[in-house]
Copies of this chain bind each other. A is one copy, B any other.
Amino acid sequence: MEKIKAVAGIDIGGTNTTFGFVDRSGKILAGGQIITSRYDKPDDFVAALYEKMMITAQNSGYDIEIPGFGIGAPMGNINRGTIEHAANLPWKGIVPLADLFARHTPLPVIVTNDANAAAVGEMIFGGARGMKNFVVITLGTGLGSGFVVDGKLVYGHDGFAGELGHITIKTGRSDRECGCGRKGCLETYVSATGLKRTVLQLMADRLDDSELRKLSFGELDSKLICEAARRGDPIALEAFEHTGAMLGFSLANVTVHTNPEAIFLFGGLALAGELIFEPVRRHLEENILYIYRGRVKLLPSELSTQNAAVLGASSLVWFEQERV
């Protein structure tokens, strides 16, 4: 049996947790998933996950040597190896994830937020290979981000850098409530959920006919809105325009912080292609300071597969080991 080094990459989401054993070239040798929401206690979750992973490794057809575990999770904190107050997970408060893993294994366990994992994945396996300064924006239920400066992921003093979903924007009209308890956060406009909210607002404000008027808020999702826009639906098209305007405006402000070479869009909403890229690019260039104009590339993630999160998580270990 072939002996091979492969990092265990783990993506913890509110519904499912996906894992894979990833070799240095980014190939996933074996993988699987468990249902996150089935476990009320994080220690039961980690025990079940660890057991499933070990069985998967044994049945993979490879003799896998695991250098470590890389975990991407909402509100994952690299300094403390914890998940802290994640709104979308079943466990409240602070979850000592790395310590829970340490009950099962002496190997290194690196925890960070899912968007940071995506940024490292982009640098190691994706479109940011060779880049030293870039930003990855993940567009899912919320908006996440990871910053790379001078070839290194930015963690910040408390391990919570890159929470661009919680930039607040003053719009001059009543601002949207955010899950964080504040109002007007960027992700209330720019995310799959934000797009839905914008569709509702537009249907309230305007008289245009739209196929989306037949759907309830519960039935609506970004895929349906995207399909409607492709058929020329005026409300759906305008919702993408609004979303792109908010993101383009905000990315012009992001640029003045770290002056990135490129900004990558990743996740479900990025799959809408030019429907989202065109307005973002236009509003970014309209709002950007002259010294950056035409110099910041807006690119789709090259990790846009269902395995991206696992690749990103695994690259944390490959990357951190190479840094040492």
Interface of A toward B, CB cutoff 8 Å? 75, 84-85, 132-133, 147, 149-150, 152, 154-164, 166-173, 180-182, 249, 252-254, 256-261, 287, 289-292, 295
From known contacts A170-B172, A290-B180, infer whether A163 and B258 are also in contact, taking CB-CB under 8 Å.
no
Q: Is the CB of A149 within 8 A of B154?
A: yes
Cβ of A13 to closest chain B Cβ, rounded Å: 20
Query: Measured between alpha carbons, how far is A259 from B258 in the docked complex, in Å?
Result: 13
Which residue of B161, B171, B180 contacts A172 across the interface (Cβ within 8 Å)?
B171
Q: Is the CB of B252 within 8 A of A254?
A: no
- The copy count of this chain in the complex is 2
List, in ascending order, chain B residues with CB within 8 A of A156's CB.
133, 149, 258-260
Query: Measured between alpha carbons, how far is A163 from B133 in the docked complex, in Å?
Result: 16
Query: Measured between alpha carbons, how far is A206 from B287 in the docked complex, in Å?
Result: 32
List, in ascending order, chain B residues with CB within 8 A of A85's CB.
290-291
List, in ascending order, chain B residues with CB within 8 A of A180's CB.
289-290
Q: Is the CB of A161 within 8 A of B253?
A: no
Residue of B nearest to A161 (CB): B259
List, in ascending order, chain B residues with CB within 8 A of A287's CB.
168, 182
List, in ascending order, chain B residues with CB within 8 A of A150's CB.
149, 152, 154-155
Q: Is the CB of B164 within 8 A of A257?
A: yes
Query: Measured between alpha carbons, how far is A43 from B14 in the docked complex, in Å?
Result: 62
Residue of B nearest to A131 (CB): B157
Query: Measured between alpha carbons, how far is A261 from B259 in the docked complex, in Å?
Result: 21
27 contacts between A and B (CB under 8 A): A85-B290, A85-B291, A132-B157, A133-B156, A133-B157, A149-B156, A154-B258, A156-B260, A157-B295, A158-B259, A158-B291, A160-B259, A163-B291, A164-B256, A166-B256, A167-B253, A167-B256, A168-B249, A168-B287, A169-B170, A170-B170, A170-B171, A170-B249, A171-B172, A182-B289, A254-B257, A257-B258
**Known A156-B258, A161-B259, A170-B171; further 9 A-B contacts with Cβ < 8 A:** A133-B156, A147-B258, A150-B154, A161-B256, A166-B289, A168-B252, A170-B249, A171-B172, A254-B257
Query: Measured between alpha carbons, how far is A189 from B152 in the docked complex, in Å?
Result: 34
List, in ascending order, chain B residues with CB within 8 A of A173's CB.
172
